[in-house]
Amino acid sequence: MTSKSWDILGIGCVAVDDLLYVPHFPAADTKVRVIKRERQCGGLTGTALITASRLGARCAFAGRLGFDELSRIVEENFRREKVDVSFVPKSESAPVPCSVIVVGPDTRNIFYSIEGEIGADDLLPHESVIRSAGVLFLDQYGMTGNLRAASIARAAGIPVVADLEEVDDPRFSELLRLVDHLVMANEVAERLSGETTPDRAAKALWRVDRKAVVITHGIKGSWFLGPDDVVRHERAFKVKTVDTTGCGDVFHGAYAAALIQGHTLQQCVRVASAAAALKATQPGGQRGIPTREQLQEFLNSRPELY
């Protein structure tokens, strides 16, 4: 993998998040004052790539962008975070989605709008670009392009890591089969598997051609299964939580970075858990993403576990 042009190539969705922090969620037809507001970049694949880049991976983004102001903000953010955007397909029909995220003391609500094509392009990037990556990272947005890219990657022996949420698309199951590092939240895993516990969901989602199934469950930790067919549990790190926005995306990006850096499955899950915990201590989806040095310092400090 060291001879590849990039460690991780991402082709999924990006977004711009407007965050509103409130002291509490109001009852119907009442007002509540916003304590603070700010804007950060987000999106499943966007946040994962920023995470991997901060952790030392060489990353490139090749999902759709438009010519709108939010696309410019996303592109500038990628460049600032040392994510290559040379192969981004641009189109007037691909404005970046915008989310309004209302964050309270104990919960958050996400309101988002999608007004065009997002995620993977149907025909780009070129096959040679995909083969130049050590890991392909995708989500469920841009299904035709995702299936194309994942098929190329699997045929070339390139690991496919995905941040998937179940969608009403008949091709979703086909994409699911092409992912050999399946990392997903417990509620999604339970819906897909029909099981009611993360360990049984991991077993149900396992395939002989997979390398890993990882089920995340917030402060309850993560359950993971590899080729040895044994489900293991990794406890979550106990931190002072400020905002969980983007924690799942950060987990995915840190997992992909640890994978390309040669860690074992258990080490990948531990690194990802630590990165997600550190992100939770800061507001927004990307501000709290740790650097490699910050993550190592955190792990060396033997932090308390749940």
pLDDT digits (tens, 9 = 90+) for 124-150: 999 999 999 999 999 999 999 999 999
Q: Is 1 within the bounds of a domain? A: no
Confidence of residue 2 (pLDDT cuts 50, 70, 90): very low
Backbone CA torsion sign across 144, 150, 151, 152: positive
Q: List, for residues 28-60, the tens digit of each pLDDT value.
A: 888 999 999 999 999 999 999 999 999 999 999
pTM: 0.93
Query: What CATH number is associated with residue 110?
Result: 3.40.1190.20
| Of 173 and 243, more confident | 173
Answer yes or no: is pLDDT of 89 > 90: yes
pLDDT band at 298 (very low <50, low <70, confident <90, very high): very high
The predicted pLDDT at position 266 comes to 97
Q: Is residue 22 part of a domain?
A: yes
In a domain, 200, yes or no: yes
Residue 134 lies in a domain: yes
Domain total for the chain?
1
Dihedral-angle region of residue 284 (phi above 0 means left; psi in -120 to 50 means alpha; beta otherwise)? left
Structure confidence at residue 26 (pLDDT): 79
Residue 18 lies in a domain: yes
CA distances for 4 relative to 135, 157, 177, angstroms: 10, 13, 25
Interval 291-305 mean pLDDT? 93
DSSP state, 120?
S
CA angle 38, 104, 39 (to 5 degrees): 10
Q: Is 305 a domain residue?
A: no
Domain assignment present for residue 30? The answer is yes
193 lies in which domain range? 6-300
Structural domain includes residue 125:
yes
End-to-end CA distance of the chain: give it in Å, rounded: 35
Q: Is the pLDDT of residue 261 over 50?
A: yes
Residues 175 and 188: their CA atoms lie apart, in Å, by 15
| Summary mean pLDDT of the chain | 94
